Homo-oligomer: A and B are copies of this chain.
Amino acid sequence: MTTTTRKERERAARHQLIISTARELAEAEGWGAVTTRKLSDRIEYSQPVLYSHFKGKRAIMDAVAIEGCEELAAAMRRARQSADNTEDALSAAAGAYMDFGRRCPATFDAMFTLPGDLPFGPDAPQPLRDAFAELYAVFAPLAAHRDPTVFTEVGWSAVHGVAVLDRGGRLPAEYTEERLSILVDQLMAAFGTGHDS
């Protein structure tokens, strides 16, 4: 039944085309400009075809978000592995996180900002859990006497907060580097000092 598998391949290709096109459109003109009509125009199919692949527009955005999670996790892994001590790994990974937010703002929004129904807990999609595992690899070594998972959550949140406010124009762009440096400085502060209570 090679014909069946060919159709499946073509269908999978179209599935990916929808995701990629939506993402390009969003990065170029913002999510507000990603309408089902414009999207179906770009992929040269009619609107209902979108709904044969995805439950709705939100599901398309979720697919972009998951793709973004994979990329972000990969970028952080590269950053971490190219460093040879804990502090450099933290600095590089945090830099990669913020860089991703700046380079792909729309994807970043789909992942974290816009109202999405992606489950984030223990039954999150695998790419999300992988991304958290990557964060864990960066932050857990710094946990000292604190619970490493909860500490990872806090460390992630801190980096995320800087990325979010930075990107939204809430913070002056000229100090981006200095903020990253202060953040790393602060996250390292309790490392190996026996600081307690």
- Asked if A54 is at the interface of the complex by the 8 Å CB criterion, the answer is no
Chain B residues lying within 8 Å of A121, measured Cβ to Cβ, are 169, 172
Question: Which B residue's beta carbon lies closest to that of A173?
Answer: B121
Q: Is the interface of A mostly helix, strand, loop or mixed?
A: helix
Interface residues of A in 156-197 (CB under 8 A from B): 156-162, 164-166, 168-172, 175, 178-179, 182-183, 185-187, 189-190, 193, 195
Interface residues of A in 47-74 (CB under 8 A from B): none
Task: Determine how many copies of this chain the complex contains.
Answer: 2
Question: Which B residue's beta carbon lies closest to that of A158?
Answer: B158
Which chain A residues have a beta carbon within 8 Å of chain B's beta carbons? Answer: 30, 32, 112-113, 115, 120-121, 146-147, 150-151, 153-154, 156-162, 164-166, 168-172, 175, 178-179, 182-183, 185-187, 189-190, 193, 195
